[in-house]
Chains A and B, each alone.
Chain A
Amino acid sequence: MKKFSTLRTMSASLAQGDFSSVELIQDHIAHIHNEDAHLNSFITLSAEAALEQAAAADKLRASGDTRPTLGLPFAHKDIFCTNGVLTTAGSKMLSNFVAPYDATVVSNMAAAGMVCIGKTNMDEFAMGSSNETSYFGSVSNPWDTQRVPGGSSGGSAAAVAAGLVAGATGTDTGGSIRQPASLCGITGLKPTYGRISRYGMIAFASSLDQAGPMTRDAEDAALMLSVMAGFDPKDSTSAQRDDAWLGKMATDGIAELDQPLTIGLPEEYFQAGEHMHAIEAAKAELEKLGHTLKSVSLPHTQAAVPVYYVLASAEASTNLSRYDGVRFGHRCDSPQSLQDLYERSREEGFGQEVKRRILTGTYTLSVGYFDAYYLKAQKIRRLIAEDFNNAFAGVDLLLAPTAPTPAFNKNQLTDDPVAMYQQDLYTVPSSLAGLPAISIPCGFSQGMPMGMQLIAPAFREDLPLALAAQFQRHTDWHLRHPGEEL
Chain B
Amino acid sequence: MSQETPETSATAQDSIDVAHLAGLARLALSDKASAEVAADLQSIMAMIDAMRAVDTDGVQPLSHPLDAAVRLRSDVVTESPDPQHFQRHAPATADQYYLVPRVVE
> What residues on B are CB-neighbors of A366 within 8 Å?
21, 24
**Does residue B94 face the partner (Cβ distance < 8 Å to A)?**
no
**Contact of A359 with B7 at beta-carbon distance under 8 Å, contacts A375-B1, A378-B61 already known:** no
For B81, the closest partner residue in chain A by CB is A100
For B67, the closest partner residue in chain A by CB is A385
Q: Mark A348-378, 1 if CB is under 8 A from B, else 0.
A: 0010000110111011101111111101111
Q: Say yes or no: B27 contacts A350, CB within 8 Å.
A: yes
**Does residue A342 face the partner (Cβ distance < 8 Å to B)?**
yes
**Contact of A434 with B92 at beta-carbon distance under 8 Å, contacts A362-B25, A379-B61 already known:** no
For B5, the closest partner residue in chain A by CB is A368
Cα A381 to Cα B37 in complex, Å, equals 27
Q: Say yes or no: B22 contacts A100, CB within 8 Å.
A: no
Q: Mark A338-353, 1 if CB is under 8 A from B, else 0.
A: 1111111011001000
Q: Which of B9, B26, B71 contacts A368 (CB 8 A)?
A: B9
Q: Say yes or no: A363 contacts B56, CB within 8 Å.
A: no
Q: Say yes or no: B59 contacts A237, CB within 8 Å.
A: no
Separation in Å of the B21 CB from the closest CB of chain A? 5
Q: Say yes or no: B54 contacts A343, CB within 8 Å.
A: no
Tell me which residues from 49 to 90 in chain B have a Cβ below 8 Å from any Cβ of chain A. Answer: 49-54, 56, 59-67, 70-71, 73, 85-90
Separation in Å of the B105 CB from the closest CB of chain A? 11
Q: Which of B1, B3, B65 contacts A432 (CB 8 A)?
A: B65
Q: Which of B5, B51, B70 contacts A307 (CB 8 A)?
A: B51
**Contact of A371 with B65 at beta-carbon distance under 8 Å, contacts A303-B54, A380-B56 already known:** no
Size category of the binding interface on chain B: 35 or more
**Does residue B43 face the partner (Cβ distance < 8 Å to A)?**
yes
Cα A377 to Cα B47 in complex, Å, equals 13
**Contact of A335 with B101 at beta-carbon distance under 8 Å, contacts A303-B51, A355-B27, A355-B37 already known:** yes
Q: Say yes or no: B10 contacts A369, CB within 8 Å.
A: yes
**Does residue A306 face the partner (Cβ distance < 8 Å to B)?**
yes
Separation in Å of the B38 CB from the closest CB of chain A? 9
Q: Say yes or no: A309 contacts B44, CB within 8 Å.
A: yes
**Contact of A362 with B21 at beta-carbon distance under 8 Å, contacts A368-B5, A373-B48, A379-B60 already known:** yes
Cα A369 to Cα B21 in complex, Å, equals 13
Q: Say yes or no: B37 contacts A375, CB within 8 Å.
A: no
> What residues on B are CB-neighbors of A307 within 8 Å?
51
Determine chain B's interface SS by DSSP, over half rule.
loop
Cα A327 to Cα B47 in complex, Å, equals 37
Size category of the binding interface on chain A: 35 or more
> What residues on A are CB-neighbors of B102 within 8 Å?
337
Q: Say yes or no: B45 contacts A338, CB within 8 Å.
A: no
Q: Mark B6-24, 1 if CB is under 8 A from A, else 0.
A: 1111100000101001101
Q: Which of B6, B18, B28, B91 contacts A359 (CB 8 A)?
A: B18
> What residues on A are CB-neighbors of B37 within 8 Å?
355-356, 359
Separation in Å of the A414 CB from the closest CB of chain B? 12
Q: Mark A364-402, 1 if CB is under 8 A from B, else 0.
A: 101111111101111111110100000000000000000
Q: Say yes or no: B62 contacts A378, CB within 8 Å.
A: yes
Q: Say yes or no: B70 contacts A372, CB within 8 Å.
A: no
**Does residue A96 face the partner (Cβ distance < 8 Å to B)?**
yes
Q: Mark A393-429, 1 if CB is under 8 A from B, else 0.
A: 0000000000000000000000001100100000000
> What residues on A are CB-neighbors of B21 within 8 Å?
359, 362-363, 366
**Does residue A236 face the partner (Cβ distance < 8 Å to B)?**
yes
Cα A369 to Cα B2 in complex, Å, equals 10
Cα A375 to Cα B59 in complex, Å, equals 10
Residue among B6, B26, B91 with the highest chain A CB neighbour number at 10 A:
B26
Q: Say yes or no: B2 contacts A379, CB within 8 Å.
A: no
> What residues on A are CB-neighbors of B87 within 8 Å?
327
> What residues on B are CB-neighbors of A317 within 8 Å?
25
Separation in Å of the A87 CB from the closest CB of chain B? 11
Cα A307 to Cα B44 in complex, Å, equals 12
> What residues on B are CB-neighbors of A240 within 8 Å?
71
> What residues on B are CB-neighbors of A371 within 8 Å?
2-3, 5-7, 9
Q: Which of A237, A309, A363, A368 contacts B3 (CB 8 A)?
A: A368
**Contact of A372 with B7 at beta-carbon distance under 8 Å, contacts A355-B37, A433-B65 already known:** yes
For B28, the closest partner residue in chain A by CB is A343
Q: Say yes or no: A194 contacts B24, CB within 8 Å.
A: no
Q: Say yes or no: B56 contacts A379, CB within 8 Å.
A: yes
> What residues on B are CB-neighbors of A302 within 8 Å?
50
**Does residue A58 face the partner (Cβ distance < 8 Å to B)?**
no
**Contact of A370 with B47 at beta-carbon distance under 8 Å, contacts A341-B100, A376-B56 already known:** no
**Does residue A225 face the partner (Cβ distance < 8 Å to B)?**
no
**Does residue B29 face the partner (Cβ distance < 8 Å to A)?**
yes
Q: Say yes or no: B90 contacts A363, CB within 8 Å.
A: no
Q: 8 other contacts beyond A207-B65, A324-B26, with CB at 8 A cut-off?
A: A193-B65, A300-B54, A335-B101, A359-B37, A369-B9, A376-B56, A380-B56, A418-B44
| Contacts A/B (CB < 8 Å), 27 sampled | A194-B65, A233-B73, A237-B66, A303-B51, A306-B51, A325-B91, A327-B98, A337-B101, A338-B100, A342-B26, A344-B28, A355-B27, A356-B41, A359-B22, A360-B44, A363-B41, A363-B45, A367-B5, A368-B10, A371-B5, A372-B5, A372-B7, A372-B10, A376-B7, A380-B56, A380-B59, A433-B65
